[in-house]
Structures are given as structure tokens and as C-alpha cells.
A and B are shown apart, each in its own frame.
Chain A
Amino acid sequence: MTPLIRLTDVVRSFGSPPVTALAGVNLTIDEGEFVAIVGASGSGKSTLLNVIGTLDRPTSGRIAIDGVDTSALSDAELSALRSRRMGFVFQQFHLREGVTALENVADGLLYTGTRRPERRHRAREALDRVGLGHRLGHLPHQLSGGERQRVAIARAVIGHPPLLLADEPTGNLDSRSGESIVELLHSLHTAGTSIVVITHDVALAARLPRRVSISDGIVLTDSASGAAA
């Protein structure tokens, strides 16, 4: 079976003189996995998520998504990939203020060319899925932090992407809200979505099926292989 994501010798360095954020990462993630990427700040885990999410291109090395080498794709093709195959969840939620939860979620389909009535219809379904069916007309500032992150997750999964990428999804939440978000991610995973979560929350990572720890831009341990890369 073709793996969902395969990273081969991925190096990413910035600036001049170059600062190396990723120093040769090899990583394979299969469909249906729920992976935690853990590491201290500065370890390169955010860069890794950017590279997996095609928001950033590696300096060298290869990234294949569904077997397609992303280095051969144009900006428009990468954008299409993101709009159809991936959902992103951010630590800061990044909701549009002054726009209802429903409209925020509907934005998840904005760049797929879906008509607005259809987008709103599916946004309602997505909000139901994350347990916010009663908060459709609320504005972001009327929602709690946990609810806002649920809205953001609903936006990420509205198009049923096979892959969900989350950057510190509980980082801005109190422990109870954070717990409910973790439960939500688990239920999405059970429903068939592959999930990659970046976190420095060891307790959260400990409950996930697979943990990849990053340090100084290399994979230190991977619970799937049980060996250092």
C-alpha cells in the first residue's frame, strides 16, 4: 500500500549562513495513523509540520503525498492538494472575527469552488460533528477557547480530508478544554481521518498510538519502529 506521507532525507535550512531546522528526516505515515510529533521548542517540529503540509518546501530531500512527489508540483497544484487532501488546525485558532461560526467553517470549502449554500449546508454538518450544532450563529468572541478550537477543527474537516494536521491544538486551552479537544481528535481518527499532531504536551502524546520525537532537526525516537533514526 502507498503510504499517505513519505519523507526521504528531508533537509530544511533558513537564511545565510544557513540555520538548519531539519537535518535529514526520514518518516513514513500510513493512512489511518494518529501520530504525535513531540519535541522542545526549536527542535524543528513546526518546520516539519509545514513541510508535511506543503506550506513550505524542503531545501533538499523528497516528500511524497499519496505517492506523488510534491517537489514536482506547482504552487497552484500544491494549493489544490491542501484544499482537497488536508485540513489544518492551529494553536491560535485563526478564526475570522465578526463572522459567525457557521461562516468560519464554510470558509474551509471556499477554495474548492463549492457554492455558498452548499458550503453552509456542509458547515452545519461539520459543526454537528464537533458537537457545536447549537452554536452556528455565534461569533468567535462569544465562544470559549475550547469551542473556538472546535470551530477551527470543523473548518479543517468540512471537506472530509484524509489528513488532518494540528499544530499545538491544545496549547492555548485550559486542561479541561484541551481534554475535550483530544477526545474530539480521537473520534475523528476513529471515523477514518489520519491525524498528525505537533505537541510538547507529554501527557497528550503518551495517549496517542504513535509518537515521533524530534530534536535538533532529526528524528530521535519513533515508537512505531522503536529505534533511533
Chain B
Amino acid sequence: MSATSGRRPPSDTSRLRPADLLSLGSAGLRAKPARAILSALGIAIGVAAMVAVLGISTSSQARLNEQLAVLGTNLLTATVAPPSSGDPIPLPVNATDRLARLPGIEVTSSVADLPELSVYRSSYSDPARTGGLTVTAAELNLLDTVAGTVRTGAWLNQATAAFPTTVLGASAAARLGVTEAGTLVWLGGRNTTVVGILDPVPLAPELDVAALIGIPVAGADYAFAGNPTKLYQRVDDSVIQRVRSLIGPAVHPATPSAVAVSRPSDALAAISAVNQSMTGTLVGIGSIALLVGAIGVANTMVISVIERRREIGLRRALGATRRHIRLQFLTEALVLSAIGGVGGAVIGYLVTSGVALVSGWPTVVPPLVLAAGVVSTLAVGAVAGLYPAIRAARTPPTAALNS
């Protein structure tokens, strides 16, 4: 700096108030609104994509958490493990009694698939078309154990369990075309009354495709030997891992490895985890859209700088410094991308709500995601606006005169 700058009082320098800078930054956009909106749209689509992807993923996760809170994560199931050699060892008849004695087990129940039996809509149905449905003998406390609910009719009781009656899983009822209790279906070679239809059971989806009958009628009329094929246990949450390791030895003390134990809520969580990994990919695609939007903003700004050489020259003649010109165009780029960012966040939120509404999820968009969306566009706008702003500042002040 030369000595003169030291002598000059502060009131004698070029100054631009921040409020005026902001109004300058938006004036250029107001002059060409269509162009401003179109280039902001590029940014908006990028942000909307990212917000929507994260919002949808968070919302579906929230739905899962809600579901698990209702269903509980403390259900364990035990089945016959596929043997490494020889025939599979069936579960013992008194398996539920053995498990009931384990500390930490709150309630235990079992089912037995009856592979020789099939269920049809009527005696005229083609016997080959079983529809993938199973006939399963169930203990009376099964429904409570798996947190299942009855959609219509009633669950089995001691009376109906001794007679040819059945409760259909949700899919089984749909495939058989049964919508209300009292309908007759053809089960095990005779007419059987449907006493109830279940809602889908998320923790035990195998029950959805089953026609459930009582153990007494299975034993009396269908030669059921009493060996269960699947055991369900509700376990004290605090000891679930320890209990899990004790189930095999309790059921088959000699060959614990013949029992396979699993935790159905883990499967639901695993599906969710797969969805989460998809989210990463989609966010990547969204950020590419944002990058393309940023290039659009840079392009618009470069054109704007070329078109407005005279305006820049005039402003220089009025006393604007290079810095003022640079700040003006940088502000314009920032305003442009902020419009895109806020617009995109709103669009992303609306898309998320729409998807959540259709899917029956709660709408959850973390405020952090919205804030990050807007802040990232500001960063993008600053980068995109930098080159045009520097270029604008280099416009010679004489541009206003020799045009």
C-alpha cells in the first residue's frame, strides 16, 4: 500500500454495505428470473434426490423400529438342523416341556408341519395344486408367543382344536379365496371349517402360508406322532444370548448341533441393512446430480458475466472495487444455489412424505439432513461462483465506455 492510503480518512474509501451486497446479489437474478429458476432447478434436483433418499431410508427404518417395538426382538425359534450326514434328527415330542424348564424362557410354543396333508378350496380342486400351502398343527399358545393377531373369526381353543377346524394364515386365506370364518375348505380329505383368519405375522412368516389345526385333531385323525418341527420361545431380553446357546443342549442333550436356533427379528434387521446399503449408492447418484447442478450454476454465471460487462464497467466507474464486483457475483451464485438448496430440501421432504404416506410409514427426515443439504449447496455455490466472480472482477473498468 502506498503512503496515501494511510493519510486517507476511513470515510474516504469505497465501501459497500452487506445489506446492499445482498440486494445486488439478488438483483441480477430478478432481472432474468426464468434463467435463475432453471439453473437453481439443477441444484434443487440434486438436493431433492439426496434428501428424499435419506428421508425414505430413515422413514422405513423408523417403520421397522416401530414394528420391532411392537413385535419384540426377544423371539427365538428352533428347528431341525440339516444334518451333515445321515437322516435329520426330529425334535423330541416333549421339546417344549424341556425348554420351559430353562431359566430366562418366558413362554414357549411349537408347531408341527404335516407334509402328508394339503388344503384345497373344495373337493373338486386339482390335488396337484396345493398352492404352496402347508397344513400345520399348532399349540394353543402359539399366537401369543409370535405376537400374531386374528383378522377375522377366532383363534383355536380347546374345543375347536379337537375337531376338523382350521385357522388360516393371511396368504393362505387369500390363495384359497376365503374371506370370512365359517367357510368350508377341503383339508386332509374332508370338509373342514375355517374358524379364523390371521393377520400377517412378521416374525413368523411361515404361518402366513399355513392352515393351522389343533394338535388333538392332528393326533386323532391324521396320525400325528407329536414331534414338533419348529419351536418358538420368548426370552428375557437380558439373557437372550446365553439362552440361545442353551436351547440346543436342552432339546437334544446328546446332539445339540441337530437344533438350529435363529432370531427372526435379525432377519428383518438384515433386510433393512440391505436397504441401507442401497441408500449409499443412491446418495452417490444424488451427489452427481448436485455436481451437474453446480456446473449449471457456474455456466449461468459465466454467461451472466459476459453479458454484463457494461454493468460491471458502470459499477467500477461508480466506485466499485474489484473486490466489490467479485463479492457481487459470488453473492449472486450463493443466492442462486441457496434458492436451489432450499427448494430441493422442500421437494425432497415432500417426496419423502409422499412415499411414506403410500407405504404407511411415518415421515422422518432428520433435520440434520435438511441442514446438510442446504449447507452443501452453499459450498457448491461458492465453488461454482468463484471462477465467474474472479472473471467479473477482471473486467476492465473501461467496459462501460467503449461499448
Contacts from A to B (Cβ < 8 Å): 46, 49-50, 53, 55-56, 68, 72-77, 79-80, 82-84, 88, 90, 92, 94, 96-99, 107-108, 110-113, 115-116, 155, 167
Please measure, in the bound complex, the distance between the C-alpha atom of A115 and the C-alpha atom of B323, giving whole angstroms.
20
Q: Which of A77, A83, A110 touches B4 (beta carbons < 8 Å)?
A: A77
Q: If A50-B398, A76-B323 touch, does A111 touch B16 (CB 8 Å cutoff)?
A: yes
Give chain B's interface secondary structure class.
helix
Complex interface: stretch among B5-13, B57-65, B87-95, B145-153: B5-13
A83-B398 in contact (CB<8A)? no
The reply on B322 being an interface residue by CB < 8 A is yes
Q: If A73-B2, A77-B4, A94-B314 touch, does A113 touch B397 (CB 8 Å cutoff)?
A: no
Please measure, in the bound complex, the distance between the C-alpha atom of A55 and the C-alpha atom of B310, giving whole angstroms.
13
The reply on B143 being an interface residue by CB < 8 A is no
The reply on B128 being an interface residue by CB < 8 A is no
> Can you report 28 A-B residue pairs in the complex whose CB atoms are below 8 A from each other?
A46-B402, A50-B397, A55-B313, A55-B396, A55-B397, A55-B401, A74-B5, A76-B13, A77-B2, A79-B320, A79-B321, A80-B319, A88-B318, A92-B310, A94-B311, A96-B27, A97-B31, A99-B27, A108-B318, A110-B20, A110-B318, A111-B319, A112-B14, A113-B15, A113-B17, A115-B17, A116-B19, A155-B318
Interface flags for B297-322 (1: CB within 8 Å of A; 0: not) read: 00000000000001101111111111
Interface flags for B27-59 (1: CB within 8 Å of A; 0: not) read: 100110000000000000000000000000000
B16-A73 in contact (CB<8A)? no
The reply on B1 being an interface residue by CB < 8 A is yes
Which residue of chain A has its CB nearest to the CB of B24? A110
Please measure, in the bound complex, the distance between the C-alpha atom of A115 and the C-alpha atom of B403, giving whole angstroms.
31
Interface flags for B314-353 (1: CB within 8 Å of A; 0: not) read: 1111111111100000000000000000000000000000
B316-A55 in contact (CB<8A)? yes
Q: If A72-B4, A79-B316 touch, does A111 touch B401 (CB 8 Å cutoff)?
A: no
Residues of A within 8 A of B322 (CB): 75-76, 79
Please measure, in the bound complex, the distance between the C-alpha atom of A97 and the C-alpha atom of B32, giving whole angstroms.
12
Q: Which of A53, A97, A99 touches B317 (beta carbons < 8 Å)?
A: A53
Please measure, in the bound complex, the distance between the C-alpha atom of A179 and the C-alpha atom of B398, giving whole angstroms.
27
- 14 new A-B contacts at CB < 8 Å, known A73-B4, A115-B17: A46-B402, A50-B398, A50-B401, A56-B398, A75-B322, A77-B13, A79-B316, A79-B321, A80-B12, A80-B13, A83-B319, A112-B15, A112-B319, A113-B11
